Structure 1
Amino acid sequence: MADGYPWQQALWEQLAGRAQHAHAYLLHGPQGTGKRALAERLMARLLCQQPQGTEACGTCKSCHLLKAGSHPDNFILEPEELDKPIKVDQVRELVAFVVQTAQLGGRKVVLIEPVEAMNVNASNALLKSLEEPSGDTVLLLVTHQPSRLLPTIKSRCQQVACPQPSQAQSQAWLAGALPGSGESERAELLALAAGSPLLAVSLQAQGVREQRALVADGVKKLLKQQVSPSQLAEAWNGVPLLLLFDWFCDWAHLILRYQLTQDEDGLGLADMRKVVQYLAQKSRPAKVLEVQIWTLEQRQKVLGKANLNRVLLLESLLAHWLQLPSAR
């Protein structure tokens, strides 16, 4: 995005206006807030032969090659397939690129996203390049989950916290990105995307509101014993596993919070408020905490791309939740 996102403007001016650049930046922040776009904008600015203030000119040979995806001094490292790890062989290719001389006589720029997709072997293979990049090389690392990175990776980078937009900025941007949407629809999408507007657009495209309605309805029927865990596991086949675990982790948190505060304004989205309140009133806090810890542990396995049996995992999740109301 040539002119970036409005919530990034102050950070952009600070980054792009530098006379000297760090050899490695770690751009971190919530998913769906435009970190990749910021990294690409900085990459273009660093490679440009005739920058116009803080922006790439868009017309020099370097800018044309970058747009065509054939810039010899640019290397992008990302998973070969969506949601797969970055392999050690890919990192070795990157290491070979870093030691070469820049072909256009300027900088070399590397973009890695998401950094947490590298396993330990791939991360270790990257360390030397991060410590001593040859020539004028800048590495731009983008992560949604800095807690999953090796400390040795983080310590070799200048860390850049990418801002999350305010509710007003998100609403204004979403109104332009989803012109046919109403304010309440946008507010619901933003809540489901934890306030990240780009993620909200992505979730809207995959039909998240319909998926959420299906899941909320299923949980209500489960608690009334109108459906079994195995029937629901099958019915939810089209809902991404991570999304399901995000929602169940959130509901466990809301139940515990309500048990502590009795604050009815803190019951989450309207579709599950009554269920959250019911479970909070009918369950022992110790049991809710136990189920929350189990749910979070399974979510970590999903995040770590563990080889999981989806149906068995969902049946187990729902069996845990069925135990809550009777746990007084």
Structure 2
Amino acid sequence: MQLTDYPWLTEPKNSVGKILPPALLIHGVEGIGKRALANYLAQSVLCEETSSVNDPCGKCPSCALFTADTHPDFKLLTNDDEDASSSGNDLGDTKKSKHIISVKAVRSLGTFCVTKPHRGHAKVIVIDPAEHLNQSASNALLKNVEEPAEFLHFILVAKHKERLLPTLLSRCLKVNVRPPDAQEAFRWVATQIDGQCKDPYRQELSIALSGNAPLSSIRVIADEDFFSNRESILSLLSQNQIDPFALATLCEKIEVPTLQRIIYALLHDLMFLNIQQDVAFHEDKKTELGRIKRSLSNKAFSRWLSLFNDYLKSASHPLNRRLALEALFLKWPQT
């Protein structure tokens, strides 16, 4: 791959320097292309035509093996599987999973870490998401990171770097990948969807909801369920008398991350309306938001937000989700 495909990654790539360190941590929000940068750096180091962190040639045997996910000197450790695997050349970020990266998976890399490269002069291990390493796995990894072979490089990818073992964190060069500004994100997303989204507002909303993270924005744009559920929730809440049971029935069918995104954006706009008489997300729904807001204070919305956050903590629990949602919407602020 070429980094020009992701122009906002050029600055963090340059901050790495010309030589890849033994341990590198790439961190930033979801959907920003952290894995893409990790793969670029790995391929760059393994490329047989480059001697530093630079664009891989894409033509040498090493690049061909990397693109085919069969390079013998590259390993990807992720929570998709307990065992170390080959590259999985995914340009997006790893989705959040319940699975941890176990000590067994880290120890399975033992032979790989000490044997010399099959090709060229380097070996690379990418760990994504690194914050899913459990305590034992982190300690096992630390032993390799503290005294790596001269040819070995670790690239850790994390959304929440603060969850990493402090001693492991201290051994890494840290690169923070920041989102582009809204205009740059809009231009990049527009070139990727190539006219598939006829509604420019939908694109703007998706970018705003994703915090300008381009890859996340594309996923939101393509999520028809998100936009239809957004319409339904706003419609039910804007009624003179809301029906908590209808809301619970609807929200029970919505995946928790999607529901969280809808509710957070809704409450943000309701509170913002009270302060600035404006909205940050639902520009096309000001009328509905005005009916929902009525004369309610931000204090009332803040109290309900606290209840919603409590609900999120137990949303994956095998209790009756419908009952929990009914109890939640029965406490929706009323005038």
TM range (shorter): 0.7 to 0.9
* Aligned twin of 2:283: 270
1:13-92 equivalences under 5 Å are 13-15=14-16, 17-18=17-18, 20-51=19-50, 54-80=54-80, 83-88=97-102, 89-92=104-107
Kept in 2, the 8 Å contact 1:115–1:143? The answer is yes
* Aligned twin of 1:211: 229
Post-superposition Cα deviations, 1:35-89, rounded to whole Å, max 9, x if no partner, equal 1111111110011121187111222222122122111111101122662423312
Separation (CA, whole Å) in 2 of partners of 1:136 and 1:52:
13
- Give the unaligned 5+ runs of structure 2: 82-94
**Normalization by structure 1: what TM-score?**
0.82
Q: SS in structure 2 opposite 1:40?
A: helix
Structure 2: which amino acid aligns with 1:50?
E
Separation (CA, whole Å) in 1 of partners of 2:147 and 2:228:
49
* Aligned twin of 2:9: 8
Q: Which of 277, 285, 295 is the aligned partner of 2:308?
A: 295
Structure 2: which amino acid aligns with 1:214?
S
Q: SS in structure 2 opposite 1:127?
A: helix
1:229-248 equivalences under 5 Å are 229=245, 231-248=246-263
* Aligned twin of 1:101: 116
Post-superposition Cα deviations, 1:180-216, rounded to whole Å, max 9, x if no partner, equal 2242221122123222121111123332322322333
Structure 1: which amino acid aligns with 2:208?
A
Kept in 2, the 8 Å contact 1:23–1:133? The answer is yes
* Aligned twin of 1:228: 244
Separation (CA, whole Å) in 1 of partners of 2:205 and 2:281:
11
Structure 2: which amino acid aligns with 1:212?
R
Separation (CA, whole Å) in 1 of partners of 2:326 and 2:175:
39
The range that moved more, 123-132 or 136-145, is 123-132
Separation (CA, whole Å) in 2 of partners of 1:118 and 1:297:
26
Alignment CA distance shift 1:273-1:211 (3 Å): same
Q: SS in structure 2 opposite 1:25?
A: strand
* Aligned twin of 2:163: 148
Separation (CA, whole Å) in 2 of partners of 1:7 and 1:49:
26
Separation (CA, whole Å) in 1 of partners of 2:188 and 2:177:
17
Q: SS in structure 1 opposite 2:109?
A: helix
User: In the TM superposition, what is the alpha-carbon distance from 1:286 to its structure 2 partner?
Assistant: 4.5
**Normalization by structure 2: what TM-score?**
0.81
Alignment CA distance shift 1:276-1:96 (3 Å): farther
1:124-203 equivalences under 5 Å are 124-180=139-195, 181-182=197-198, 183-203=200-220
User: In the TM superposition, what is the alpha-carbon distance from 1:318 to its structure 2 partner?
Assistant: 5.3
1:319 aligned to 2:334? no
Kept in 1, the 8 Å contact 2:185–2:212? The answer is yes
Alignment CA distance shift 1:275-1:319 (3 Å): farther
Structure 1: which amino acid aligns with 2:282?
L
Kept in 1, the 8 Å contact 2:124–2:152? The answer is yes
Separation (CA, whole Å) in 1 of partners of 2:253 and 2:72:
41
Alignment CA distance shift 1:281-1:191 (3 Å): same
Separation (CA, whole Å) in 2 of partners of 1:150 and 1:289:
33
User: In the TM superposition, what is the alpha-carbon distance from 1:281 to its structure 2 partner?
Assistant: 5.4
Structure 2: which amino acid aligns with 1:191?
A
Separation (CA, whole Å) in 2 of partners of 1:198 and 1:73:
28
Separation (CA, whole Å) in 1 of partners of 2:318 and 2:235:
23
Q: Percent identity?
A: 27
User: In the TM superposition, what is the alpha-carbon distance from 1:141 to its structure 2 partner?
Assistant: 1.2
Alignment CA distance shift 1:146-1:247 (3 Å): farther
Question: Whose helix proportion is higher, 1 or 2?
Answer: 1
